[in-house]
């Protein structure tokens, strides 16, 4: 039996899956909401593509006569706030997918950044971000957050100097089993405490 594909030029209009036959396709031609659809074996509507791009979720305001809701697995690039976040519809809500945004093929990866108060509440080992309080990259080692990189520096390509602050403003406990060396003098502000565990040493040279 020959099937004639359905089409619509009405913005955001999706076909009612019950109106589609097995194997029949429906196409929305409107430039604001182009889409290709079919009905699966459970009589649910499936959107083949393309990925919707915009600050408003696809099919958020379906027109009269159009199917409501979204298809499981449907994708949306959310541009809210000037960022590009890839999301997928899981049947209940839009779920953000874990992707790393890049500035270009030969550019940079965009890492999450924020204050210490904005860190993940339940981090896992391997997490990495930029700390805007300390202006340093940091990673989570499974127990605590620690600075990443920031090795020796110097003029040109030299790498002979390690620079650090000379004032302790926030209380800190040296990791058990670790020693610390600092170039003095070091000022410890009022209210700040440096705790040295048993067996550890802090040398101020």
Exposed / middle / buried, residue 2 (Cβ in 10 Å: 0-12, 13-18, 19+):
exposed
| DSSP code, position 1 | -
State residue 51's pLDDT score.
96
Structure-block tokens of residue 110: 């965009």
**pLDDT tens digits for range 153-200:** 788 878 788 888 999 999 999 989 999 999 999 999 999 999 999 999
Count helices and strands (H / E) in the chain: 0, 18
Cα distances from 175 to residues 13, 76, 162, 195, 202, in angstroms, run 60, 44, 20, 9, 11
Domain that holds residue 195: 164-205
Average pLDDT over residues 24-35: 94
Assess whether 56 and 120 both reside in one domain. no
Same-domain check for residues 151 and 170: no
Do both 178 and 157 map to the same domain? no
How far is Cα 160 from Cα 137, in angstroms, rounded to an integer? 21
Instruction: Output the CA angle 187-190-192, nearest 5 degrees.
Output: 80
pLDDT at 110: 86
Q: Are residues 117 and 187 in the same domain?
A: no
Tell me: the pLDDT tens digits for 71-123?
999 999 999 988 788 999 999 999 998 777 788 888 898 888 999 999 999 99
Q: What is the SS3 assignment for 86?
A: strand
Residue 201 lies in a domain: yes
Last residue of a domain, one of 72, 96, 120: 96
Query: How many domains are there within the chain?
Result: 3
pLDDT at residue number 20: 93
Q: Are residues 70 and 17 in the same domain?
A: yes
**Model's pTM, two decimal places?**
0.55
In this structure, the answer to whether residues 21 and 33 fall within a common structural domain is: yes
- Tell me, yes or no, whether 132 and 202 share the same domain: no
* 91 in the same domain as 41: yes
């Amino acid at each position: 039996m020959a099937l004639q594909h359905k089409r619509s030029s009405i913005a955001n209009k999706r076909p009612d899956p019950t109106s589609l036959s097995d194997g029949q396709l429906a196409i929305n031609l409107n430039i604001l909401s182009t889409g290709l659809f079919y009905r699966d074996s459970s009589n649910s509507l499936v959107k083949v593509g393309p990925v919707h791009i915009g600050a408003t979720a696809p099919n958020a305001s379906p027109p009269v006569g159009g199917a409501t809701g979204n298809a499981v697995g449907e994708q949306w690039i959310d541009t809210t706030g000037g960022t590009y976040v890839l999301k997928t519809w899981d049947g209940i809500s839009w779920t953000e997918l874990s992707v790393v945004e890049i500035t270009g093929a030969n550019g940079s990866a965009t890492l999450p950044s924020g204050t210490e108060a904005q860190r993940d509440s339940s981090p896992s080992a391997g997490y990495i971000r930029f700390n805007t309080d300390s202006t340093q990259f940091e990673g989570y080692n499974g127990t605590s957050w620690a600075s990443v990189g920031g090795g020796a520096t110097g003029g040109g390509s030299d790498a002979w100097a390690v620079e650090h602050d000379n004032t302790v403003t926030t209380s800190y406990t040296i990791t058990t089993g670790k020693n610390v060396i600092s170039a003095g003098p070091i000022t410890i502000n009022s209210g700040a405490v440096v705790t040295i565990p048993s067996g550890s040493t802090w040398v101020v040279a």
